[in-house]
Amino acid sequence: MLKNCENCGGHLHFSPKDKGNVCENCGSVFPVPYNYSFNKKTFDEHTIEPTKDELANSLRSFKCKSCGANVMLTKFQMQTVCPYCGNTSIVKSKSKNLLYIDSILPFTFGKADALKKFKSTVNKKFYANKKIFKNIKDKDISGVYVNAFVFDMSTSSRYYGVFSYVDSYRDREGNTKQRTVYKNVSGFFNKTYKNITVEANSNIEQDELRSIMPFEYGSAVEFKKEFMYGYMLEYKDKMFNSCVSTAETIIKEDIKQQLLKKHGCTKIEQLSLDIEYPDRRYNYCLLPVYFVNTTVKDKRYKVVMNGQTGKVGRLPKDKLRVFLTIFFICLLIVGIILLIMYFSK
């Protein structure tokens, strides 16, 4: 069970700076042990049994009426803003079962620092729309632990096919021409992949997550619910198997790129690729993500930020600046063409 502050009964929240839980009332600090030594599990160890852990009892499940997102809050949390759409229509729903959580990357900075870091990033990015985020406040930021499966997979592949590349050459008249060169390829390819991260909740896109990667898994610790006080937990709604196939798709795409590189080609014409996985391991891991939500002129904006490294995802662009840049580039090109025409007369 979760406990209130032992000294005064106040609410606790996890403070990255103090590496422990701090009482909002009396300021007492309760350190949380960081245990870095844990192993990834083999696929045989995978279980969809809901945890019998006290965690399930200490969390309340909420559903957003506006976008349908499911989030978990600890008993102490009063937050009623949906991190995915910024709406305030969060309602209590029936409790959901949780998977057993293996590991967690704790947030490394708190909300106040998140706000500062976010603002300074927006100011540094030339094309970011600065007006949208000028007035964001503490309440526009929510810290969410995003569910992900983190995979280690060793691969061994057999392949054959036809690759190609475009070659430039000079003909007899000395003109530069291009031709496609085809190459028959075949062979074996081995590579071990570490920490392939696949999100396990449909509220955050794989692309969105990729935009704030990498996460530093060297600082992953064994899961303890104490890391979660003051933060939300996303509800996992994707099946293990579908996450495995996403990971395998990511790996397959990478192997194709590696093979092209190996044979000095740029395009796959035909390929038969047989991938075997001698060893597959995984961790069900919680990743720290800050969601920044703001509404300007009835339009909602959501940006994600890595709660471990501070990396900010895609920002809405300042259309005027983008337009002016394109305009000046066009002007420059026209100018160069005119100059060439002038001198070649």
Q: Does 4 bind Zn ion (CB under 5 A)?
A: no
Tokens representing 230 are 């003051």
Segment interacting with Zn ion, rule: CB under 5 A, options 61-69, 166-174, 270-278, 308-316: 61-69
**What residue has token string 């229509």?**
89
Q: Does 204 bind Zn ion (CB under 5 A)?
A: no
Radius of gyration, alpha carbons of the chain: 26
Yes or no: say if 285 and 102 are a contact pair by the CB < 8 Å rule: yes
| Cα–Cα nearest to 292, from 264, 309, 312 | 312
Amino acid making up residue 145: Y
Q: Rounded to the nearest whole angstrom, what is the least distance from the CB of residue 269 to Zn ion in the complex?
A: 45
How far from chain centre, in Å, is Cα 122? 19
Task: Report the residue from 2, 25, 162, 296 that binds Zn ion according to the rule CB under 5 A.
Answer: 25
Nearer to Zn ion, 25 or 108 (CB): 25
Tokens representing 263 are 């044979």
Segment interacting with Zn ion, rule: CB under 5 A, options 56-64, 160-168, 217-225, 233-241: 56-64
Q: Does 144 bind Zn ion (CB under 5 A)?
A: no
Nearer to Zn ion, 66 or 154 (CB): 66
Q: Does 26 bind Zn ion (CB under 5 A)?
A: yes
Q: Rounded to the nearest whole angstrom, what is the least distance from the CB of residue 230 to Zn ion in the complex?
A: 14
In angstroms, rounded to a whole number, what is the distance separating the alpha carbons of residues 123 and 140? 18
Yes or no: say if 119 and 134 are a contact pair by the CB < 8 Å rule: no
Q: Does 7 bind Zn ion (CB under 5 A)?
A: yes
Yes or no: say if 229 and 74 are a contact pair by the CB < 8 Å rule: yes
Contacts of 62 (CB under 8 A, 6+ apart): 70, 71, 72, 73, 90, 91, 92, 93
Nearer to Zn ion, 86 or 313 (CB): 86
Task: Report the residue from 14, 84, 109, 229 that binds Zn ion according to the rule CB under 5 A.
Answer: 84
Task: Report the residue from 2, 29, 67, 296 that binds Zn ion according to the rule CB under 5 A.
Answer: 67
Reduced to 3 states, what is the DSSP secondary structure of residue 329?
helix
CA distances from 132 to 128, 268, 302, 315, 317 (A): 9, 43, 11, 10, 10
Q: Rounded to the nearest whole angstrom, what is the least distance from the CB of residue 21 to Zn ion in the complex?
A: 10
Q: Does 291 bind Zn ion (CB under 5 A)?
A: no
Q: Does 12 bind Zn ion (CB under 5 A)?
A: no
Segment interacting with Zn ion, rule: CB under 5 A, options 51-59, 85-93, 95-103, 228-236: 85-93
Reduced to 3 states, what is the DSSP secondary structure of residue 189?
strand
Tokens representing 332 are 């420059």
Q: Does 69 bind Zn ion (CB under 5 A)?
A: yes
Q: Does 85 bind Zn ion (CB under 5 A)?
A: yes
Task: Report the residue from 14, 15, 16, 23 that binds Zn ion according to the rule CB under 5 A.
Answer: 23
Nearer to Zn ion, 80 or 242 (CB): 80
Q: Does 82 bind Zn ion (CB under 5 A)?
A: yes
Task: Report the residue from 8, 322, 326, 330 that binds Zn ion according to the rule CB under 5 A.
Answer: 8
Yes or no: say if 277 and 155 are a contact pair by the CB < 8 Å rule: yes
Yes or no: say if 257 and 155 are a contact pair by the CB < 8 Å rule: no
Nearer to Zn ion, 64 or 105 (CB): 64
Q: Is the dihedral of CA 86, 89, 93, 95 positive or negative?
A: positive
Q: Rounded to the nearest whole angstrom, what is the least distance from the CB of residue 83 to Zn ion in the complex?
A: 8
Nearer to Zn ion, 85 or 153 (CB): 85
* Interacting residue ranges for Zn ion, rule: CB under 5 A: 5, 7-8, 10, 23, 25-26, 28, 64, 66-67, 69, 82, 84-85, 87
